[in-house]
Amino acid sequence: MRPRNETDDRPALAAVLVVVPARDEQDEIAGCLTSVAAAAAEVDQPVVVSVVLHRCTDGTAERVAEVVGAHPDVRWVVQGSDAATLGGARANGVEAGRSHGTLADLDPATVWVASTDADSRVPHTWLRAQRDLADRGLDLVLGTVEPREDGSESARLWHAQHHLAEGHLGIHGANLGVRLSAYDRVGGFPALDDGEDVQLVRAVRDGGMPWTSTDRTRVVTSSRRRGRAGKGFARFLRRLDDAVATFGATEELEERLRTEILRLAQERGPAKTLCPSEAAGAVDPTRRRALTHVARAVACTLADEGVVVVTQKGVPVDGRTTPGPVRVGLVPEELRGPVEV
């Protein structure tokens, strides 16, 4: 679904609520909250930061107390939660934060809820950029997320295949903002461990409320391989680790995908196209999903060389910056030189 950038009449924001769930995050939470405090300092509205200690058994609470003491200018709400799911913990954070005296009597349409994760770092412009978009009449802002560079082949492979841009289609609980009135209208975060952010976003969009997606608020998250969410970044990086271990260095894997794209394209001829996932499946059907984005990046490189054309609904596009599915086909024979397969 494309962003619905047409705005509606909305009152100006009066305050911002940031929600950060944390479950056994003693090594990450201080960096996260320090970055949130820096972002809060750049907006001229009151900011309430609601930290949810979600069934913590380590020193997370102590680390949170240290950051709270170091940043007395921020309005902090720290609450424990026994919620059975991550979605439940996020919802607990919203409820605890909106009960703070700063927000309790405000019209929900004037309160912006910004969500991030305890292992993430937000840019200092994070809240300012969301607020500016909200004050244009939007109810939902989706931001981009990238893993912290750790020097691994998998991290480099992730960056090679992801092209973060305006109008992207990603949904990340680590980087989204929603007007509190829109949040209430759709029932808030559902009680799910995976996909609670996706369900909230879909409900807002399906409700016809104005929204956008941007790379202006890019968040950096942990590159760890064991995350709190079963289908989050950690699992994706593990899949890339598996692909690198199976196929070798990034260059070797990209060469295999290049070979399959060209083989499939030549078999079909210039009148037909293929999906990058088909080339990924040809390399290894058991790792098709993990390899599909890499195959798309390789197809874009081939397009740069003038060997193939990347299209969407029959129109040539830049596959690096165009959200949504694309197709790959041969450039007409008269327009290209010989290609070795």
Q: Which 3 state secondary structure label does DSSP give 142?
A: strand
Q: All domains of the chain, ordered by start, with CATH?
A: 15-223 (3.90.550.10), 248-335 (1.10.10.10)
Between helix 126-134 and helix 29-40 the angle, nearest 10°, is: 50
With contact defined as beta carbons under 8 Å apart, do 152 and 53 qualify? no
Its pTM surpasses 0.85: no
DSSP, collapsed to helix, strand or coil, labels residue 13 as coil
Q: Which helix (H) or strand (E) holds 134?
A: helix 126-134
Tens digit of each residue's pLDDT, the chain (341 residues): 556 666 778 999 999 999 999 999 999 999 999 999 999 999 999 999 999 999 999 999 999 999 999 999 999 999 999 999 999 999 999 999 999 999 999 999 999 999 999 999 999 999 999 999 999 999 999 999 988 877 777 776 666 666 677 887 788 899 999 999 999 999 999 999 888 999 999 999 999 999 999 999 999 988 666 665 555 666 666 777 777 777 766 778 889 999 999 999 999 998 899 999 999 999 989 888 878 878 888 898 888 788 899 998 888 887 766 777 899 999 865 444 443 33
Distance of alpha carbon 119 from its chain centroid, rounded?
Answer: 13
